[in-house]
Structure 1
Amino acid sequence: MSAIAAWGRLMGSHAAMTRSFNAELQRASGLTVTDFEVLRRLAEEPEARMRRVDLAQAVGLTPSGITRLLDGLQSAGLVRKEACESDARVTYAAITPEGRAALSAATEVHLAALVALFGERFTAQELGTLVELLGRLPGAAEGERACTEVATA
């Protein structure tokens, strides 16, 4: 198989899975996959917050894209904006208790959808191989904590 075929299949699969997971999450919790990922990343941080610019990079959004997304999450009470005491130019996004509750509820739905999707298509051994192969791609390590439970499920 050529590199372009692998790329095409990866992109097609990503797009189809994102549409499916978005529909499932929005129906069950009102969150998008990107909302979920933002909340997950914030919840995993030791201080439950990240610089907005770092968060944008982590989830693949532009600075204006993360601002729009965080504005919506802030309006919903799921995140709050925090100032940096040492540098007025820096602002943080922090998850709220309501954001943690929404993330917890959405995680159950999302994990069940992931287990169903992969379980219908792969054996446990194949899934392990897929995780290993995808782990070789750039940026894959950044999503490892999100995949730990699914890989063992």
Structure 2
Amino acid sequence: MAYQVPRMDELESRAWLALVWTSELLPAALDAQLQADSGITHFEFMVLSTLQQANGAALRTKDLAAAVNATMPRLSRVVGKLAERGLVERLGGDGDARVVNVHLTTAGRRELVRAVPAHIALVKQLVIDRLSPTELTALVGVLEPLVERLDPQNRVGFAAAQRASSA
């Protein structure tokens, strides 16, 4: 019996490649804008935004890493850079030396507030304004189930960060 290579039809292939290229190109465009306008990367923006949304603007390092879908080494490097710039601070856990909490500083909050308008303008220009309300609704309907499938424990995003900060 001959092995059959799985195939996609033309529509499946176009849909898949559109999703792949969007996921490749969009972060680079967002990163370039944030770096040029605010001197922060898109990942740093996500870290600051996630902390902003957390209860008390602080999260344990492991919860922050999960919420921004980062490895601990990557998050540690970025938090170190943000701490050097005074945008976050590392605080010890309540009596447990193994626990490190990351807290958004006033300077970090200020930097985030300054970065948001241009960031939102680019997001609207590249994505939101290109789609009708019906298409936006369809996009939500298509992507939210994919996110749920890829993250069944709901460990990424603002909701996960808020849950972790309440625990």
TM exceeding 0.5: yes
CA contact (8 A) 1:79 1:95 kept: yes
Counterpart of 2:55 (choices 28, 36, 46) is 46
Q: Give structure 1 regions of 4+ aligned residues with deviation exceeding 2 angstroms.
A: 4-9, 138-145
Instruction: Report the TM-score, using the length of structure 2 for normalisation.
Output: 0.79
Q: 1:144 to 1:45 in 2, by over 3 A?
A: closer
**C-alpha distance 7-83 of structure 1, shift in aligned 2 (>3 A):** farther
Matched, 1:100 2:100: no
Asked if the contact 2:65–2:72 (Cα under 8 Å) also holds between the matched residues in 1, the reply is yes
Match of 1:136 among 121, 145, 151: 145
Tell me: CA distance 1:66–1:89, structure 2 relative to 1, closer, same or farther (3 Å).
same
| Partner Cα separation in structure 1 for residue 16 and residue 71 of structure 2 | 23
Residue 117 of structure 1, aligned match among 114, 122, 126: 126
Deviations 1:55-101, CA, capped at 9 Å, x for gaps: 11221211111110001100111000011113221001110000001
Which of the residues 30, 34, 37 maps onto 1:21? 30
Q: What's the counterpart of residue 67 of structure 1?
A: 76
- Indicate the percent of aligned positions where both proteins have the same amino acid: 32
Per-residue deviation at 1:143?
4.1
Range with greater deviation from structure 2 (64-73 or 49-58): 49-58
**Which is bigger in relative contact order (C-alpha 8 A, separation at least 6)?**
2
SS in 1 for 2:56: coil
**Structure 1 residue 132 displacement after superposition:** 2.2
Measured on the aligned residues, the alpha-carbon RMSD in Å equals 2.0
Counterpart code for 1:104: V
Q: For 2:129 and 2:136, locate their aligned partners in 1 and report how far apart those are by CA, in whole Å.
A: 11
* 1:76 paired to 2:85: yes
The answer for unaligned runs of 5 or more in structure 1 is 146-153
Under a length normalisation based on structure 1, what TM-score does the superposition of the two structures give?
Answer: 0.85
